[in-house]
Amino acid sequence: MRPMRHLSILACLGLLVGCGSASAEPGEATETTTGDETMDEPTASEATDADTSDAADADRAVPEDEGPIAEVPFPWTEIRDATPAGRTLVFQFREGGRVRYERWVFTDVSPEGYRSTSTPVDENGAPTGEPEEDAGTWQQLEHHAHFPADATEITNAVLTLPSGRYRCRLYTVTAGDAVQRFWFATDQAGPPVRMVREVRGETVIEMQIVSGS
């Protein structure tokens, strides 16, 4: 398992919006879940590599012992097509009473995979530490959102963050006393725009996007 400061944070973790006039305070999120309400599905990007697209099902990098998984938020081909070199995402984390920020930058991409950096920054974007490098395949990024089918509930939601309003698929994953919620913006293939992990009803870590798409 890689350190928390890599794009594999989803694996490390386990692996709205008010329709009224109230606005979110800085760093807060409001949400409205819509259950099974019909919502237009996001348009899948067509893969630019025909051979890779045809082999998508075979190349999902699923371990043999993984077992049945829930529908993935995005196939790896969509993540690849939504991620040009230079794609930059800034996230805020709340954990143990502390707030911190990270900037993720995809420095190099190819049909097979990516290279990226993760840099701790302050709320204004100024670096506060040294960048760390990461590299992997698009299939591995998809795999971070492979959740067990029998422990996962998927609903539609609308989420309001200080960074904007997002139409999402909300994944609620329950394992014993732990509940994790991941809001994936339907038009932003990649990591969730918000994530919350609770243990015995207490929030232990939150993550949400500050900027980027």
111-139: per-residue pLDDT in tens?
999 999 999 999 999 999 999 999 999 99
DSSP secondary-structure letter at 72? Answer: P
> How many whole angstroms separate alpha carbon 72 and alpha carbon 117?
25
Tell me the DSSP string of 151-180: GEEEEEEEEEETTEEEEEEEEEEEETTEEE
Spell out the domains of the chain, with CATH numbers in brackets.
9-38+68-211 (2.40.360)
Q: Does residue 187 carry a pLDDT above 90?
A: yes
Q: Pairing mode, if any, of strands 164-175 and 152-161?
A: antiparallel
In this prediction, residue 31 carries a pLDDT of: 66
Percent of the chain whose pLDDT exceeds 90: 68
pTM for the full predicted model: 0.76
Cβ atoms of residues 199 and 177 within 8 Å? yes
